[in-house]
Chains A and B, each alone.
Chain A
Amino acid sequence: MTTTAPALLTRLRGPLTFLALIAAALLLLPLLLEPFRLNLFAQYLCYAIVALGISLAWGRGGMLTLGHGVFFGLGAYAMGMHLTLASTAADPLNTTGLPQFMVWSGLTELPWFWKPFTHPATAIAAAVLVPGAAAALLGWSVFRQRVRGAYFAILNQALAAAFVIFLIGQQHLTGGTNGLTNFPVFAGHSLYSPTAQTTLYTITVLTLAAIYLLFRHVNNSRYGKLLIAIRDAEDRVRYLGYNPTWAKTLAYALSAMAAGIGGALFVPIMGIISPSLIGVIPSIMMVLAVAIGGRYSLAGAATGAVLINAAETTFAETFASGWIYLQGALFVLVIALAPHGLAGLTRQAATALTRPRTRTTPPAPQDTTTGSPA
């Protein structure tokens, strides 16, 4: 038997890795990366927050959410609307008190649903609650009818398409194809200063860490196991006395809320939100990144989102047209060779390395557990 010291180390390895990663992200990266790169990295982390949500809904709950761009977009637009109003109010040349695009569309008064967004707190609350409520409503009505699998995925795609059509069609309300952009201030602070960008980055890192811990707790609870059971045999779960509808709706809503938070953080960092960032294709890309990172593992999904987005930037800088083929090839390879993604490969490698010393212990842990953050 091992002594208590190594056992304690093994038990602390997860939390220590987690803390080390946060410390490195918060203290080291702002020093190492120039502001432009740090800003890009913060954007990747926003997608990592979305990826955590997709991992919960898809990896855990088996709901292929091919429309997460919608929830990301709802959060992003909530924040974008506030930032637009804030920049309008701060603009000394604007006498109408209306955003530019509304003036050009001939509006004379602020639409009713824009009004609450003058206050930042409303915008932040809406960025979390509107996606959550939308997903809960959609989930409840769909799961109750026992719609699942490909039908659910197609429904999500349709939702993403419809949302984009609405945004583009209602230009006087939403800014249309151009979206919302030009955000110099948030709550009285300039967003263009390096300090503001570092602060946004810090908030994003901490938010990502908090949502990771929350979802990890959810996965490890009985409810997390119930989700696995529903994913693998939904009908059997009914005969245990559970109603799968509420369980799936909750996971879907939590997942949408994470996407909304990711979207809300993304807007002040990126400086723009437009339909092209949240439509059908971006929605698929979000799921792709999770598939490549490993959908059964929260850490894998988040890592996948960062890696894929980083790779996209890197390749787009050198040869732009090649990226789309490489991404397609990567997806095919992962599905064919490593269905559990990078997280699965890492685990396999770790198991292979430690096997000689742990021959007497039971077989490798299941890939569905979240494990330690890595």
Chain B
Amino acid sequence: MSLLTIDTLTVTFGDFTALDHVDLHLDEGQLLFLIGPNGAGKTTLIDTITGRTRPTHGTITFNGHTLNKRSEHQIVRAGIGRTFQTSAVFEELTVADNVDLAASARLRPWQLLRRRRTLPPDVIRHLDRVGLTDHADRPAATLSHGQRQWLEIAMLLAQNPRLLLLDEPVAGMSADERTRTGALLTEIAADHTIIVIEHDMDFLRRYADQVTVLHEGRILTHGDVTTVQNDPRVQEVYLGRTPQKATP
């Protein structure tokens, strides 16, 4: 049985159809890249899975439960975590507190009211994994753009989700930061199920295995990177007929 099943999902905003009968299946352990030109509906799809946007039609089933009517925090508790295109960390809290807060969501209210004296081992482990141990006690506001994205990934891992949704994790990163993020992604993918939205073709060629192409709210094609890249329809809508200009 697949972990995530999206069945004829349609989302409309007034007259505009953002998602049009989208079907998607994801198995446990899969790493799926989702690409498509601007306005293709990639972020809308993630928003709908995580409860930010409500489906107009169709169903989303995760691990046997229908998510359609659940609120955002219930969906997270069901095991789906996400990051945001523009990083959204809590600037006034320290880096460690950001991760600690993400790791504590399942605690009971009275446990939250207790004072934390030392960092839980899990939090230390996640900080180490994304390479932010040295910044643990600084306010998150002092982090660079790339570090914030890594902090988001650490917060995501701390939630211990079964499915991770990453919205453009390398957007705005330097080449060096991209390489580090790619390595991190490969490492996480070994024991997680992940959907990544990404624009960067170069990054895709290096790290992607399976790719799904969205265009105008519909799934255009799905397959491995080479097949998708050579698909004339993809070249037409996504690469603008000229594969050479693929990397923005």
Q: Whole-angstrom distance from the CB of A231 to the nearest CB of chain B?
A: 9
The 5 A-B residue pairs with the shortest CB-CB distance, nearest first, are A241-B105, A241-B76, A238-B72, A223-B112, A236-B88
Contact digits for A1-24, partner B, Cβ 8 Å, 1 yes 0 no: 000000000000000000000000
Which of B115, B116, B138 counts the most chain A CB atoms within 10 A?
Answer: B115
Question: Chain A: how many interface residues by the 8 Å CB criterion?
Answer: 26
With contacts A221-B113, A239-B82, A240-B105 taken as known, whether A232 is within 8 angstroms of B73 at the C-beta atoms is: no
B112 interface neighbour in A226, A243, A366, Cβ under 8 Å: A226
Q: Does A106 contact B (CB under 8 A)?
A: no
A232 interface neighbour in B82, B92, B159, Cβ under 8 Å: B92
Q: Does A362 contact B (CB under 8 A)?
A: yes
Pull 21 A–B residue pairs with CB atoms less than 8 Å apart, ordered by A.
Answer: A218-B113, A221-B112, A221-B116, A222-B101, A222-B113, A225-B97, A225-B101, A226-B112, A229-B90, A229-B101, A233-B90, A236-B84, A236-B90, A238-B72, A239-B76, A240-B101, A240-B159, A241-B76, A242-B73, A246-B109, A366-B92
A222 interface neighbour in B72, B76, B84, B100, Cβ under 8 Å: B100
- Chain A residue numbers with a CB within 8 Å of B97 are 225
Residues of B contacting A: mostly: loop
Q: Does B38 contact A (CB under 8 A)?
A: no
B81-128 residues with Cβ-Cβ distance < 8 A to A are: 81-82, 84, 88, 90-93, 97, 100-102, 104-107, 109, 112-116
Closest to B141 in A: A366
Residues of A contacting B: mostly: helix
Other than the known A221-B112, A232-B91, A243-B71, what 6 A-B pairs have Cβ atoms closer than 8 Å? A217-B115, A218-B113, A221-B116, A222-B113, A225-B100, A226-B101
Q: Is the Cβ of A222 less than 8 Å from the Cβ of B116?
A: yes
- Chain A residue numbers with a CB within 8 Å of B138 are 362
Q: Is the Cβ of A223 less than 8 Å from the Cβ of B109?
A: yes
Q: Does B77 contact A (CB under 8 A)?
A: yes
Task: Report the tally of A-B residue pairs with Cβ distances under 8 A.
Answer: 76
Q: Is the Cβ of A241 less than 8 Å from the Cβ of B77?
A: yes
Q: Is the Cβ of A238 less than 8 Å from the Cβ of B76?
A: yes
Interface residues of B (CB under 8 A from A): 50, 71-73, 76-77, 81-82, 84, 88, 90-93, 97, 100-102, 104-107, 109, 112-116, 137-139, 142, 155, 159
- Chain B residue numbers with a CB within 8 Å of A250 are 109
Q: Whole-angstrom distance from the CB of B177 to the nearest CB of chain A?
A: 22
- Chain A residue numbers with a CB within 8 Å of B90 are 228-229, 232-233, 236
Q: Whole-angstrom distance from the CB of B191 to the nearest CB of chain A?
A: 20
Q: Does A220 contact B (CB under 8 A)?
A: yes
A240 interface neighbour in B71, B137, B142, B155, Cβ under 8 Å: B155
